[in-house]
Copies of this chain bind each other. A is one copy, B any other.
Amino acid sequence: MNLKELASHLGLSPTTVSRALNGYPEVNEATRKRVTEAARTHNYRPNTQAKRLATGRAMAIGHVIPISTQHEIVNPVFADFISGAGEVYARSGYDMILTIVPDDDEERAYRELRSKGNVDGIIVHAPKEGDKRIALLQGLGLPYVVHGRCSGVEAPYSWVDVNNARAFERATDFLLDLGHRRIALINGIDTMDFALRRLRGYSDALAARDVPLDPQLIVSGEMTEAQGHDAARAMLRLPDPPTAFMTASLLSAMGARRGIEEAGLRMGRDISILTHDDELGYLRNGTDEPIFTCTRSSVREAGRRCARMLLDQIAHGDASPRSELLEAVLVVGQSTGPARRQG
């Protein structure tokens, strides 16, 4: 059932039917009612491709999600981020187009998205320091919002980010207040912007209290359970082991805990763990009282906000960059306690 058929069925012109359905004023309310009713009973839905071609709007948002070529890992936060964004798109009638690209030819992906014209805007995932994608997208003239920020990129751009530096600074302060001086940082991959900011927050907090920064207590990599475990185990074997761990994700935290317990220590009593918690649906940090003390910020909410910002930008044809900085809350759980003298 297409527009022409529906129109002839109603004894109207395609023009009028189109206008009736799209809420234009120059159509009698009575006929509008007739049209909408007929549309429903005949289960008419305008053909997306035709509509897109005619209006020039793709009614779709592209998500280019990079897949690490070394690790072949899709960051698990994408699932939640995307479900948040998807909610918003659905309400506005937008589709979500996912492109999964090996992180070494993302540029081609963006160019193609642009020249094929099948998206109205793009969400940029996993920004790195001085990410060249910003400049690229600026050049392409396609609206976009970055989930995260790019240290080192001067030009203004739209972003939604958690205040990672502040969160990790506060977290480090919290551990320092508990008497910890040997605080390890198990971070995300060190080219990622969020990891850099967390490192900055951590080292700023240490510096503010004149606690020396020990490179042996800092590790970065893919945020998996194994990473947390291996890092914790190795560090606990140091001559002067840490009394607290900060980790970048719950998975790493779980791994660290395993490493701690393997060493015969108890989390929260002998050793503290403080992690960032993205509030992933399938990775809850306890049910009521959190297991891990954490800096918490919902990545799904970030997805919603990115989506809203982008749609807003598209709707208003307003290219002026905007931004939103989300503060993580510091939630105290069972995994932290006062520092103990050398186990």
Contact = CB atoms under 8 A, between A and B. Distances in A.
Contact of A100 (B73, B90, B222, B254): B90
B71 A281 contact: yes
Given A49-B117, A53-B49, A79-B78, A282 B224 contact: yes
B282 A75 contact: yes
A221 to B, nearest CB: 11
A107 interface: no
Interface stretch (A9-17, A39-47, A152-160, A315-323): A39-47
A58 B99 CA distance: 16
Contact of A116 (B45, B223, B287): B45
Instruction: Assign chain A's interface to a size class.
Output: 35 or more
A115 B44 CA distance: 7
A224 to B, nearest CB: 5
A256 B224 CA distance: 18
Contacts of A343: none
A95 B97 contact: yes
Q: Is the interface of A mostly helix, strand, loop or mixed?
A: mixed
How many identical chains are in the complex? 2
Interface of A: 43-50, 52-53, 58, 60, 67, 71-76, 78-80, 82-83, 86-87, 90, 95-101, 111-112, 115-118, 222-226, 251, 254, 261, 280-284, 286-287
A47 B116 contact: yes
A230 to B, nearest CB: 8
Contacts of A48: 58, 116-118
Contact of A49 (B58, B95, B111, B254): B58
